[in-house]
Amino acid sequence: MTVNYLESITKQFHYYQHLGETTFAQLDDKDLFWQFNEESNSIAITVNHLWGNMMSRWTNFLTTDGEKEWRERDKEFEDIIRSREEMLRKWNEGWATVFSALETINAENFNTTIYIRNQGHTIPEAINRQLAHYAYHLGQIVYIGRMIKGPDWKSLSIPKNQSKAYNAEKFSKEKHKAHFTDEFIQSKNKKQ
């Protein structure tokens, strides 16, 4: 179970990373900093928050509280990123920290209690908490991108009015065991 869970969860994190990167690729630099109003977050602000969370939660994941003393969470929601390059540097650093931490988990340490603000979590609870948090913010990023691009948006899932064709293709195959992200990974590898 440990290996299956970790493989599955790692694929899901890669999937959400991909959603963000595919959204960024569709946008002009200025779009990354667009805010609906002064109280809303731009994509760059959301990335800055994700970066801060990732660095705090996943640095020394197995041995220290996930809310690090050096984290300045309130500053994560300030408009401090100034370029696409800076945003992508933080994005990549955050995800590298996530995947590096996941690689340290094994059968011997799988029962370690993980603390976040002194609240104990099993490893699956801590990981699932972060997966849900990142999915929440990735949904925001994708939605902002879709609003900005309007009719020029390239769908990241099943395009509108394509569900029947998509399902027909899926049901034309034999039943098999696969992770829902496998297709994304295969298409990503073909592009590289």
- Please give the Cα distance from 152 to 179 (Å, whole number): 30
pTM for the full predicted model: 0.92
Query: For the segment 129-182, what is each residue's pLDDT rounded down to a tens digit?
Result: 999 999 999 999 999 999 999 999 999 988 888 899 888 888 998 988 888 888
Percent of the chain residues topping a pLDDT of 70 = 95
For the chain, domains (ranges, CATH) are: 2-158 (1.20.120.450)
| Tens digit of each residue's pLDDT (9 = 90 or more) over 4-52 | 999 999 999 999 999 999 999 999 999 999 999 999 999 999 999 999 9
pLDDT value at 103 more than 90? yes
Going by C-alpha positions, the residue among 150, 148, 149, 168 that lies closest to residue 158 is 168
Distance of alpha carbon 147 from alpha carbon 15, whole angstroms: 21
